[in-house]
Amino acid sequence: MRLRALVVAVALLCSAAASRAERWAWVDGRGVAHVAARPLDGRYRPVLGPHHAPTGRVTGKADAAAGLLTWLEIAPQVRVMRPWLREAARMYGVDVELLTALIAVESGFDAGAVSPRGAMGLMQLTLESAGRYAGATNVQRPLDELLLEPRANIHIGARMLADLLRRFGRVDLALAAWNAGEGTVRRNGGAMPPIAETRGHVQLVLELYWAMLQRSQRVTRIQLAVAPMTP
């Protein structure tokens, strides 16, 4: 097992006391996934969490495209972001699977998403938090415009997440700081805050991250079995 997978497994065990987070989804005729924390109408089906059965499918997808993981592999709006995700992962030392999981939970890969609180773009960055990490990217450009550009948003968010990982040293705490703020985590003694929304958010991202790591490992093993890599 790779070290990063082991870190996620430990983080999941640490958050086991949290209430089980869940995600419900359906896919419309255009191939757009609609993801929510609860079923908003009869079209939604569970894709992550305690109600999700291993054989469950995202409503609207064919038999070969079961679940949110498969949607993340084939959805056009996800595929178009992959080069920028890989680029940001290399530049800032963050797993591409973690960036993908965070975007899936935060915005459902809707580059134009704006929350009622003013969080913008793929990773739902606020002007206040993004301003600390925009750096030279923000030269002569209003930050609110920049955050609606997918590549810029991904880079700013990846830089922010990398910084939180360095500061807190654990994936679960970095995600908690992302969701609730660094100050909230520090005021709780550097431990997971007792906030249901934050704990649910962290567990959901970790579950999806872990699932993608497992799937990528499985693909790697198949590829190695067919064409062994030379040392």
What amino acid positions are annotated as catalytic residues?
A: 106
Please name the residue that has the structure tokens 């654990």.
170
Which amino acid belongs to residue 211?
A
Q: Give the list of residues 6+ apart from residue 171 with CB closer than 8 angstroms, or none.
A: 7, 8, 11, 98, 165, 206, 209
Element of type H or E holding 176: helix 171-180
Report residue 225 as tokens: 């079995």
For 36, list phi and psi in degrees, rounded to 5. Answer: -145, 160
Give, as one character, the DSSP assignment of residue 97.
H
Which amino acid belongs to residue 52?
H
Report residue 31 as tokens: 């191939």
Query: Is residue 88 a contact partner of residue 100, using CB atoms and an 8 Å limit?
Result: no
